[in-house]
Chain A
Amino acid sequence: MQLKGFHNPGGDALQALSSASITAAPLAPLAVQGLALERGSRRLFTDLAFELGAGEMLWVRGRNGRGKTSLLRLIAGLGAAANGQILFDGKARAAQRHVVYVGHANALKEDLSVSEALTFLLRIHGGRLDAAAIDAALGHWGLLAQRQAPVRTLSQGQRRRVALARLSVERRASLWVLDEPFDALDADGIECLNALLGTHLQRGGSVLLTGHQAALAADLPRRELDLDDCGT
């Protein structure tokens, strides 16, 4: 399976990647080789290979049921592949490089307040617990007024903002794995997320995401990975 096309208004031409070139760049933040994944008795894809460098964004496309979510979950660390390897900086487990996964579900407990829920998510991932930074992140997403409100009183869009507020606290050049992050966001939220993605890419972080192309800002450099091309 080869990488398909690229959109990089200002950058250099990207070459199609093969296993050989992966071994030549062992320190890519994310490198996938010969990946095969099964869901139940169905083979979702076989022999998937791609690489994601620092400061790069990879947009995963495909029809429903092609395995986009499964692939992202696999890279985030949930589940096991039927075959192949996922390497983070050349190692099997993301030791140094932090992986931030924001899935479909927001992972917010309904009975906790917004700031409590956000603090919990950050704490379990060993992140920074600076109250000021958390408040700043909530303010960035327009939720400072709701910091003490229970999560269950928030709308779907607001909950999405809280889930994404995790990304605002991030200062490291980590790997972001985002599954349909633009879902439920309004125009303001979409703009906010695009800005966040831009900042993250600029400081050398990597982003792997799925979602509607329309929401992603046109000026953000990204590559595409089309799962429809990796047949079973």
Chain B
Amino acid sequence: MLALFNALVVRDLRLALRRRSEALLPIGFFVIAVALFPLGIGPEPQTLRAIAPGLMWVCALLATMLSVSSLYNSDHADGTLDQLMICGHGSFESAVVIAAARSAAHWALTGAPLVIAAPLFGLMFDLPPPTIAMLAFTLLLGTPILSLLGSVGAALTLGLRSAGVLVILIVLPLTVPALIFGTGAVAAAEGGQSAVAHCSLLGALLIFTLLTAPLASAAALRLAVE
């Protein structure tokens, strides 16, 4: 099982390395989307500081959803997904490992760069350092949740025509708790209050999603290759 996990993650990272420009597209989207808001709302520092955490969380959400809808597409197209689903002689456990590996690779390529990029934007929005730190921390806990949930959506909509929009429709409502706890933590940090409660809830949500999302993805993948 571990060998399968490692093989998949290494392969995904290697593939992304060979297509660097494509791997950076979600970050590009994030940058543009975040920059649009001051243009649309006005450069008033107070307003920007107030909306910055929520704004960045939502843009991170959208960037993740956009990139996750094609998570299984290329494997499905060239037949690799069939080979993957045969692993362990088609057992459910192998499918779970595959889903987990793909989510992990997706997070490494999309979520992790977002966590790194967010503080830079925090400076652009003139957020104080403790707030930026909390923002990065909540994104660190939250982006894996987004990748995991996105993987469920991607598996469900595999091969469908309007898969991109469908993934967003299906998965976004499920990401609301993560969004609320994440931005709540940042707001608490900004107000000088303790963000422990928010962070614990976010952490609990991460654990819950880690344990359940790969199972749902695996079930959806098996439906898709039938």
Contacts and interface: CB of A to CB of B under 8 A. Distances in A.
A96 to B, nearest CB: 10
A73 interface: yes
A101 interface: yes
Nearest to B74: A109
Interface string B197-226: 000000000000000000000000000011
A197 to B, nearest CB: 20
A71 interface: no
B225 A101 contact: no
Interface stretch (B6-14, B38-46, B108-116, B174-182): B6-14
Interface string A63-92: 000000000010011111000000000000
B86 interface: yes
Interface string A96-121: 00010101111111111000100011
Contact of A104 (B15, B79, B226): B79
B195 interface: no
B161 interface: no
B87 interface: yes
Given A94-B89, A125-B87, A78 B7 contact: no
B82 A103 contact: yes
Given A106-B78, A109-B78, A77 B7 contact: no
Contact of B225 (A79, A112, A116): A79
Interface string B12-31: 00110011000000000000
B82 A105 contact: yes
A99 to B, nearest CB: 7
A104 B78 CA distance: 9
A133 B18 CA distance: 26
Interface of B is mostly: helix
Interface residues of A, number: 28
Interface residues of B, number: 25
B26 to A, nearest CB: 18
Given A73-B82, A107-B83, A109-B80, A79 B226 contact: yes
Given A79-B226, A112-B11, A123-B3, A93 B86 contact: no
29 contacts: A76-B86, A77-B86, A78-B85, A79-B225, A93-B90, A93-B91, A101-B82, A103-B82, A104-B79, A105-B77, A105-B79, A105-B82, A106-B78, A106-B79, A107-B83, A109-B11, A109-B15, A109-B74, A110-B78, A111-B15, A112-B11, A112-B18, A120-B7, A121-B83, A123-B7, A124-B4, A124-B7, A124-B87, A125-B86
Given A78-B86, A124-B84, 20 more contacts: A78-B85, A78-B90, A93-B91, A99-B86, A105-B77, A105-B79, A106-B78, A106-B79, A107-B80, A107-B82, A109-B15, A112-B14, A112-B18, A116-B14, A120-B7, A124-B4, A124-B83, A124-B87, A125-B86, A126-B3
A77 B85 contact: yes
B89 to A, nearest CB: 5
Nearest to B16: A111
Contacts of A145: none
Nearest to B225: A78
A132 interface: no
